[in-house]
Structure 1
Amino acid sequence: MSATEASMTALTIRLEDELFAVEASRVREILDLVAITEVPSAPDFVGGLINVRGRVVPLADLRVMFGMHRPEPDEDTRIVVMEVDIDGEPTIAGILADKVHDVTEIESASIEEAPKVGMRWRPEFVKGIGKRNGGFIIIPDMERIFETSGGRSASAANSEERPAS
């Protein structure tokens, strides 16, 4: 987000007891829970595929990346279908949300960098922390989360380049 932007229009979602915000311009649609096809040997983070209007879409669970409990889906569970850039390519993916709240404006002045210590989540997966109504809203770095989950993290690349001993 550039410093010249006055605010970020965001869709707020709940994961466990935390409020997260994803850029509303990236959201394509919000679905009720649909049939999920499990993918054997897939990472926990992207362990399934869904059918969205005839298109195969990977379904990701941010709770895995943030080390959260994974409750059984309930009547509030939704799938947020969004566009994410992975290695510069726009990709459609779904993310699970315990509940979808609303679309809101988060003032750029209220968004701060994630602290490197004292956080429950890995700071490299958090683009920023916004403030709204006296509470905090976590803004995940979706590109970094999806690139890391896809095995493109620096540590994975380094391990692939090591010669066998």
Structure 2
Amino acid sequence: MAEEFKVIVFTLAHEEYGIEVDKVRTIERMAPITRVPKTPAFVKGVINLRGIVVPVIDLRSRFGLAEAEATENSRIIIVAANELEVGFIVDSANDVIDLTSDAVENPPEVVGGIKAKYLSGVAKFGEDRLLILLNLSEVLNRSEIIQLEQFGA
């Protein structure tokens, strides 16, 4: 029996991606980001989210895509990864859809220039849409999480 799950759909460089709803805490409008020295380039800094300091990662930069200016559609998706809350800057977050495990296939080696290790799969939905599902444990690998925890404390 195929498992059903809900996915938040967001865009990056005109491609659609998904994160399972149960890993998403909240979706926020862009907020002032405080830069933190000596962090990887894709770590944009931290935001104060209702009194909690949350590290923010630019997913375009993380995946080696061309950077883009924030627009009124840009969002910060706050996800929970190993007891740590982290914000992902995305071009837009516009949908929640239901998927079944049957619709998800293993990712090809490279999808849109993004290494397969960052992806958990590719889902077919709708008439001819493909959704790239993120593998959060690789997007935030162990050593980076330790680094981020240091200024989240």
TM-score, normalization: structure 2? 0.87
Aligned residue in 2 for 1:135: 129
Aligned residue in 1 for 2:69: 72
Asked if the contact 2:16–2:132 (Cα under 8 Å) also holds between the matched residues in 1, the reply is yes
Asked if the contact 2:33–2:44 (Cα under 8 Å) also holds between the matched residues in 1, the reply is no
TM-score, normalization: structure 1? 0.81
Asked if the contact 2:2–2:102 (Cα under 8 Å) also holds between the matched residues in 1, the reply is no
Q: Do the aligned partners of residues 5 and 25 (structure 1) sit closer, same or farther apart at CA in structure 2, a change above 3 Å counting? A: farther
**2:103 corresponds to 1:110:** yes
**2:119 corresponds to 1:121:** no
Q: Do the aligned partners of residues 118 and 24 (structure 1) sit closer, same or farther apart at CA in structure 2, a change above 3 Å counting? A: closer
Which deviates further from its counterpart, 25-34 or 114-123?
Answer: 114-123
Q: State the secondary structure of the residue aligned to 2:117.
A: helix
Q: State the secondary structure of the residue aligned to 1:47.
A: strand
Q: State the secondary structure of the residue aligned to 1:38.
A: coil
Q: Which runs of 5+ in 2 are unaligned?
A: 147-153
Letter in 1 for 2:105: E
Q: State the secondary structure of the residue aligned to 1:144.
A: helix
d(CA) in 2 for partners of 1:72 and 1:42?
20
Q: Identity across aligned pairs (percent)?
A: 29
Count residues with an aligned counterpart: 145
d(CA) in 2 for partners of 1:151 and 1:32?
23
d(CA) in 2 for partners of 1:73 and 1:114?
28
Structure 1 stretches of at least 4 aligned residues deviating more than 4 Å after TM superposition: none
1:4-153 matched pairs, under 5 angstroms: 6-85=3-82, 90-116=83-109, 120-133=113-126, 134-147=128-141, 150=144
| Higher strand content, 1 or 2 | 2
Q: CA deviation at 1:116?
A: 2.2
